[in-house]
Amino acid sequence: MAVTKSIETASLSIEVQKGLDLAGDPIYSKKTFSNVKTDAAAQDVFDTAEAIKGVLEAPTRDYFINESSSLINA
C-alpha cells in the first residue's frame, strides 16, 4: 500500500529581534502568522514575509513555513 502525505495546515514564522543578551548579541523570538494557504507558492510566501518585515519596527532574521501534515495509507 502506498502512503501519501496531505498538508492540513500551514503558517509563516518570522524571527524578530527582541533585544540583546549580556554579550551584546541579538536575541530573537518568532512571530507566527496562521492560515497560510497550503498550496501557496514559496515565492508568494517569501514576498509576504518581506512585506511584513517592511512594517515591523525590529530587525528580522529568518523566515519559516510550518506545515502540519497527515499520513494516509491508501
Give the C-alpha separation, 18 to 60, whole Å.
9
- Residue identified by cell 500551514 is 10
φ/ψ of residue 46, rounded to 5: -60, -45
pLDDT in tens, 3-25: 999 999 999 999 999 999 999 99
What is the model's pLDDT at position 53? 96
Residue spans of the domains in the chain: they are 8-69
pLDDT at 67 over 90: yes
What is the model's pLDDT at position 74? 78
pLDDT at 1 over 90: no
pLDDT in tens, 24-50: 999 999 999 999 999 999 999 999 999
